Amino acid sequence: MIWNKLLLIILLLGLTFPAYSQQERVQIGDMVQVNLPGEETLNKGFQVDKRGRINLPEVGALYVAGYTEEQLETAVLEALGKVYRDLSTASVYIAEQQILISIQGYVNSPGEYTLTKSADVQMAIHAAGGLRSGAQLDNLLLKRGNDKFPFNYKSFLDTGDETLLPKLMSLDTIFIPASPLVGNIEQQFDASKLANSGDSADGRTAIKVFGEVNAPGSFSYKENSDLVDILMRSGGVTRYASVEQIRVISNNKPQIFNLKEYLDSGDISLLPTLQPGTTIFVPKQEEEIRAGSNVIYIMGEVDQPGAYEGKKCHY
Question: Number of H helices and number of E strands within the chain?
Answer: 7, 17
pLDDT at 103 over 80: yes
Say what percent of the chain tops pLDDT 70. Answer: 76
> Of the candidates 69, 96, 123, which is a domain's last residue?
96
Its pTM stands at 0.51
Q: Exposure of 267 by Cβ count < 10 A (0-12 exposed, 13-18 middle, 19+ buried)?
A: exposed
CATH code, domain carrying 69: 3.30.1950.10
pLDDT at 96 over 80: yes
Instruction: Note whether 172 and 237 are same-domain residues.
Output: no
- Reported as a single tens digit per residue, the pLDDT across 214-258 is 888 888 888 878 888 889 888 888 888 889 999 998 888 889 999
Q: What is the pLDDT of residue 64?
A: 94
Q: What are phi and psi of 290, to 5 degrees?
A: -120, 155
Q: Domain of 276?
A: 183-282
Q: What is the pLDDT of residue 196?
A: 43
Mean pLDDT score, 208-213:
88
Answer yes or no: is 287 within a domain. Answer: no
CB neighbours of residue 305 within 10 Å: 14
Please state the domain count of the chain: 3
CB neighbours of residue 192 within 10 Å: 7
Instruction: Note whether 130 and 198 are same-domain residues.
Output: no
Please give the Cα distance from 227 to 232 (Å, whole number): 9
Mean pLDDT score, 66-77:
93
pLDDT at 76 over 90: yes
Answer yes or no: is 274 within a domain. Answer: yes
Instruction: Note whether 272 and 209 are same-domain residues.
Output: yes
Q: What is the pLDDT of residue 4?
A: 52
Answer yes or no: is 290 within a domain. Answer: no
CATH code, domain carrying 152: 3.10.560.10
Instruction: Note whether 157 and 218 are same-domain residues.
Output: no
> Of the candidates 176, 200, 230, which is a domain's last residue?
176
> Of the candidates 96, 112, 137, which is a domain's last residue?
96
